[in-house]
Amino acid sequence: KQEVTQIPAALSVPEGENLVLNCSFTDSAIYNLQWFRQDPGKGLTSLLLIQSSQREQTSGRLNASLDKSSGRSTLYIAASQPGDSATYLCAVRHQAGTALIFGKGTTLSVSS
Amino acid sequence: NAGVTQTPKFQVLKTGQSMTLQCAQDMNHEYMSWYRQDPGMGLRLIHYSVGAGITDQGEVPNGYNVSRSTTEDFPLRLLSAAPSQTSVYFCASRERGGSRETQYFGPGTRLLVL
């Protein structure tokens, strides 16, 4: 059974710092991996989607990498801002399935 | 495009009552799904649909029912509400295939069962 783990569960950093959020998954037979952002009391917003054949995706100050063989993905946030404060969720879709399996998220707090 | 919409935003039920959570999308997506989000448990899949007339169970389907009569709508029915169904419910949709598989989520319905 696929399991997705996100470490750390919470992270506090000062504004301007570069940071890395980690996601690991137990079954490397994935179709794709997505990173989402969730603000308190809100729905999820997709940040980046990485296909299993890709190594990384970039959007603005965000860069997500994927190492399928080791079962790991990282989300790199450059020059963090208070507006980046949110919970970040990683989710994988298995090759043989249609559903996303989510990690429990990392709650990021960026102080000004 | 309105994206994925959900109604109601908040609902209080008594144990044993039934209700329907509404979900609609205007992006002509084939795939729609329902998740529940609970503290410490993350998001878990309840039911999903790969097209009109086709539905299947997810990880936690018990106590819930779905149907998909149109591409746009995917309602979730609670047959007899229980306190264990107190949760935040999210509907999501996506296209099928490759880079178009970005998942879009609705704003959620907060359900409290007393």
How buried is residue B108: exposed, middle or buried, by Cβ count under 10 Å (0-12/13-18/19+)? buried
| Nearest CA-CA distance, residue A15 and chain B, Å | 28
Q: State the pLDDT at residue B99.
A: 65
The residue type at B1? N
Q: Tens of pLDDT along B26-49? A: 999 999 999 999 988 889 999 999
Residue of B nearest to A37 (CA): B105
Question: What are A's interface residues with B at a Cβ cutoff of 8 A?
Answer: 32, 34, 36, 42-46, 49, 51, 89, 91, 93, 98-100, 102-105
Q: How far apart are CA B60 and CA B7, in angstroms?
A: 21
Looking at the DSSP bridge assignments, the partners of residue B31 are B94
Q: How far apart are CA B80 and CA B14, in angstroms?
A: 9
The residue type at A77? I
Q: State the pLDDT at residue B42.
A: 86
Q: State the pLDDT at residue B95.
A: 85
Q: How far apart are CA B7 and CA B15, in angstroms?
A: 20
Q: Tens of pLDDT along B73-108? A: 999 999 999 999 999 999 999 987 766 678 899 999
Q: State the pLDDT at residue B2.
A: 81
Indicate the residue of A42, A51, A102 with minimum beta-carbon distance to B98.
A51
Mean pLDDT, range A37-54, rounded to an integer? 93
Name every residue whose Cβ is closer than 8 Å to that of residue B44 and which is 6 or more positions away in sequence: A102, B35, B36, B37, B38, B58, B59, B60
C-alpha distances (whole Å) from A57 to each of A6, A50, B28 are 19, 6, 26
Q: Tens of pLDDT along A59-102? A: 999 999 999 999 999 999 999 999 999 999 999 998 767 789 99
Q: How far apart are CA B97 and CA B94, in angstroms?
A: 9
User: Do A99 and B58 make contact, defined as CB atoms within 8 angstroms?
Assistant: yes
Chain B residues inside the 8 Å CB shell of A46: 102-104
User: Do A89 and B43 make contact, defined as CB atoms within 8 angstroms?
Assistant: yes
> For tokens 């299993």, what's the residue?
A52
Q: Please give the mean pLDDT across all residues of chain B.
A: 93
**Number of residues that make up chain A:** 112
pLDDT higher than threshold 90 for residue A47: yes
| Nearest CA-CA distance, residue B102 and chain A, Å | 6
Torsional class of B99: left (φ above 0), alpha (ψ -120 to 50), beta (otherwise): alpha
User: Do A43 and B107 make contact, defined as CB atoms within 8 angstroms?
Assistant: yes
Residues 43-102 of B with CB under 8 A from A: 43-45, 48, 50, 58-59, 90, 92, 98-99, 101-102
Q: Which two tokens stand for residue B5?
A: 């919409």
Q: State the pLDDT at residue B98.
A: 65
Beta strand B31-38 with A19-25 is unpaired
Residue of B nearest to A47 (CA): B102
pLDDT tier for residue A37 given thresholds of 50, 70 and 90: very high
Residue of B nearest to A53 (CA): B98
| Nearest CA-CA distance, residue A33 and chain B, Å | 10
